[in-house]
Amino acid sequence: MSSRRIFARPARFAAITPYVWMVLFFLVPFAFVLKISLSQTAIAQPPYDPVFDLTAGWETLKTALAALSIDNFRLLISDDIYVFAYVRSLTVAVTATALLLLIGYPIAYGMARLPKSWQAVAMVLVIVPFWTSFLIRIYAWINILQHDGLLNQILLTLHLVSQPVVWLSTDSAMYIGIVYSYLPFMILPLYATLAKMEPALEEAAGDLGAPPWQVFWLVTFPLSLPGVGAGVLLCFIPIVGEFVIPDLLAGSNSLMIGQTLWLEFFTNKDWPVASAAAIVLLVVLLAPLLLYERLQKRQLEQGR
Amino acid sequence: MRKLSRLSRFNIAALTLGLAFLYLPILILVIYSFNASRLVTVWGGWSLRWYHEFFNDRAMIEAAWMSLRVAVSSATIATLLGTLAAVALSRGERFRGRTLFSGMLYAPLVMPEVITGLSLLLLFVALNAERGFWTVTIAHTTLTMCFVAVVVQSRLGSLDRSLEEAAMDLGCDPVRAFLSVTLPLIAPAIVAGWMLAFTLSLDDLVIASFTTGPGSATLPIRIYSEVRLGVKPEINAICTLVIALIAGVIVIASLASKLSSSQGESAAPL
């Protein structure tokens, strides 16, 4: 079949432009991050001392390689601020992802049990807030959580508290913000696997005498694990590097790594340290990133 | 009716609470944007005062204009590139570097924005590019084309390949078969991809902060610096306008895709 062979070519042809684009603007930049993370900080514009200049030829490259410094990485390990920031980022991400799973699962489960025609509506309803700006959604919560905001007003009128509670600049505010922003990312993959599940399986377990919680725990939950995996990764990875939410909602006494990176870059103008922090963050996230890619590829390339 | 009975009380409660949790904060924000009182917490009657304030705020308007231009151009480029990437990937055959290609496309979906932003900035500095409209547009294109690729690819995956093959058996060359058979079928997904790219660009704070230059702030950058200083009713008005814009784009696009594909099921926005 000669048409099959012609058929094969356009795919390669189609790939060229996006391929070159991604190499140039996604892959190559990491080389620069790596290079600058190994440079010395300098008070200059741009604020780092370039370690090597490829245009100067291989001879200089050799001397330059000797000048590479891992000082920035040493600083990251020795300075408590960074160690704490990484630990905190991971703890926040684990806690928030667990909360998201606990809150998202019942919602996704409810969606999957709706009649078919309602399911589409429910899915749109879950997606729409995702379309409204991240920043706006965080701002909406600042409105509610501020000192004389709606939440405190309600609590006071109901006499649940005697004076306004401080919500802003606390971890609870941050967790509310994270759960609120990432909820659609958790619900959608969960819903996708739950909706595909054969209802007869649950019914059979029930008919054989299993109480509802046992049906859920022994049948529904294990079958939904692929969705759980996708949802967890989809939330966990970006939360580790989250900047906006902790910056606007959490207190400033303990920072997440995204915040320290931002601070080093914009406030201290220490590009090499910021780059080193980015590299470490990337290394921390490498395993979950690879796992996520495999899941994503399997889902998209083998059809749903 | 049996279907309805599968819904337990617990299911209904979870759905109601979940949707309320998702929508109430935005609703409150919109309502308070019409509040006449300067104090965000005191209701002073309905008023358009803060919208006036916004339209007289030159810096905000400029930032909004910048954001709109970036969003439209980056979404358009991203849709082109993302669709091409999706087409390349959905054909089962291997080509050199295919694994790397798909890896590069899926990683930005979850990559923390601080990393993407920082790395792009360092590239622009190394290239000595003047930072502003184009650097932000390139950065946003890089991020959003991956989302477009995923949306289009999932549509292509559910497509019946034999349609295109039939067109070729009837004498179309592959390009023509693609343009006249496949493209119309995936059009709703392409539209959805464009919308997603548009809203993601309009929304982005972190990557834009890294890649923009002095004097060309985008709307989120402006909003962010105002929000850091506290709640201001004008911000509520701006946010409401952005929400209205995005809602408008969604409604128009879903109507358009409904018209263009009355027979096929509409593409999921994500």
DSSP codes, A26-56: IIHHHHHHHHHHTSEE-SSSSSEE-S--GGG
DSSP codes, B235-253: HHHHHHHHHHHHHHHHHHH
Of A19, A136, A296, the CB nearest to B101: A19
Q: Do A301 and B28 touch (CB under 8 A)?
A: no
Average pLDDT over residues A130-146: 83
Q: Which of A145, A293, A175, A295 is nearest to A239 (CA)?
A: A175
Mutation target to probe the A interface, by most A beta carbons within 10 A, among B5, B15, B160 is B15
pLDDT at B265: 45
B266 Cα to chain A: minimum distance (Å): 10
User: Given the structure tokens 């667990």, which residue do they identify?
Assistant: A98
Q: Which of A194, A266, A272 is nearest to A228 (CA)?
A: A194
User: Given the structure tokens 């990437």, which residue do they identify?
Assistant: B85
Q: Is B174 near chain A, with CB under 8 Å?
A: yes
Q: Do B106 and A110 touch (CB under 8 A)?
A: no
Mutation target to probe the B interface, by most B beta carbons within 10 A, among A285, A296, A297 is A296
Q: Which residues of B touch A304 (CB under 8 A)?
A: 154, 157-158
Q: Residue B16 is which amino acid?
A: T
B165 Cα to chain A: minimum distance (Å): 9
User: Of the spans A140-149, B16-25, B61-70, B102-111, which averages the highest pLDDT?
Assistant: B61-70
Domains located in chain A, CATH noted: 80-301 (1.10.3720.10)
Look over chain A and give the mean of its residue pLDDT values, rounded to a whole number: 82
Q: Which helix (H) or strand (E) holds A40?
A: strand A40-41
CB B253 within 8 A of CB B192: yes
ipTM for the complex shown = 0.83
Give the angle subtended at the CA of A158 by the CAs of A157 and A159, to the nearest 5°: 90
Average pLDDT over residues B93-101: 75
Q: Give yes or no for residue B154 having a pLDDT over 50.
A: yes
Q: Is A18 near chain B, with CB under 8 Å?
A: yes
CB B29 within 8 A of CB A140: yes
Q: Give yes or no for residue B262 having a pLDDT over 60.
A: no
B231 Cα to chain A: minimum distance (Å): 7
Q: Do A140 and B231 touch (CB under 8 A)?
A: no
- For residue A209, give every residue at least 6 positions away whose Cβ sits within 8 Å of its Cβ, in sequence order, or none: none
Q: Which of residues 12-31 of B touch A (CB under 8 A)?
A: 12, 14-15, 18-19, 21-23, 25-26, 28-29
Q: Do B7 and A113 touch (CB under 8 A)?
A: yes
Q: Which residues of A touch B224 (CB under 8 A)?
A: 135, 244
pLDDT at B268: 43
Range in A58-67, A221-230, B34-43 the model is least confident about: A58-67
Average pLDDT over residues B244-257: 79
pLDDT at A46: 62
Look over chain B and give the mean of its residue pLDDT values, rounded to a whole number: 83
Q: Give yes or no for residue A279 having a pLDDT over 50.
A: yes
Q: Do A8 and B93 touch (CB under 8 A)?
A: yes
Q: Give yes or no for residue B3 having a pLDDT over 50.
A: no
What's the pLDDT tens digit per position in A217-256? Answer: 888 888 888 889 989 998 999 999 899 899 989 877 778 9
Mutation target to probe the B interface, by most B beta carbons within 10 A, among A21, A264, A292 is A21
User: Given the structure tokens 């502003």, which residue do they identify?
Assistant: B132
pLDDT at B210: 93
pLDDT at A50: 57
Q: Give yes or no for residue A4 having a pLDDT over 50.
A: no
pLDDT at A74: 76
The torsion angles phi and psi of A41, rounded to 5 degrees, stand at -70, 140
Q: Is B118 near chain A, with CB under 8 Å?
A: yes
Question: How many other C-beta atoms can be found within 10 angstroms of the C-beta atom of residue B264?
Answer: 17
Distance separating alpha carbons of residues B42 and B45, to the nearest angstrom? 9
Distance separating alpha carbons of residues A152 and A167, to the nearest angstrom? 9
Q: Domain limits of chain B?
A: 58-260
Q: Which pair of structure tokens corresponds to residue B173?
A: 């060359």
Which one is predicted more confidently, B41 or A202? A202
What's the pLDDT tens digit per position in A163-217? Answer: 888 888 888 999 999 999 999 989 989 998 898 888 888 888 888 888 888 888 8
CB A245 within 8 A of CB B227: no
Q: Which of residues 114-133 of A touch B (CB under 8 A)?
A: 114-116, 122-133
User: Given the structure tokens 């006071």, which residue do they identify?
Assistant: A156
Percent of chain A whose pLDDT exceeds 70: 85
Distance separating alpha carbons of residues B195 and A38, to the nearest angstrom? 40
Q: Do A146 and B231 touch (CB under 8 A)?
A: yes
Q: Give yes or no for residue A94 having a pLDDT over 80.
A: yes
CB burial of residue B216 (10 Å; 0-12, 13-18, 19+): middle
Q: Do B231 and A142 touch (CB under 8 A)?
A: yes
Mutation target to probe the B interface, by most B beta carbons within 10 A, among A101, A132, A281 is A132
Average pLDDT over residues B166-183: 82
Q: Do B102 and A293 touch (CB under 8 A)?
A: yes
Range in A6-20, A76-90, A181-195, B81-95 the model is least confident about: A6-20
Q: Which of residues 57-96 of B touch A (CB under 8 A)?
A: 81-82, 84-85, 87-93, 95
pLDDT at A11: 67
Q: Is B4 near chain A, with CB under 8 Å?
A: yes
Dihedral of alpha carbons B175, B180, B186, B190, sign? positive
CB B234 within 8 A of CB B50: yes
Q: Is B181 near chain A, with CB under 8 Å?
A: no
A78 Cα to chain B: minimum distance (Å): 22
Q: Give yes or no for residue A300 having a pLDDT over 70.
A: no
Alpha helices in A132-253 (DSSP H): 134-145, 150-157, 171-196, 199-207, 212-215, 221-223, 225-240, 244-249
The listed CATH number (1.10.3720.10, 3.40.50.720, 3.40.50.970, 3.10.150.10) that belongs to domain B58-260: 1.10.3720.10
What's the pLDDT tens digit per position in A24-61? Answer: 999 899 888 888 888 776 655 566 655 555 555 555 55
Would you say how long chain A is, in residues? Answer: 304
Q: Which of residues 216-235 of B touch A (CB under 8 A)?
A: 220, 223-224, 227-228, 231, 235
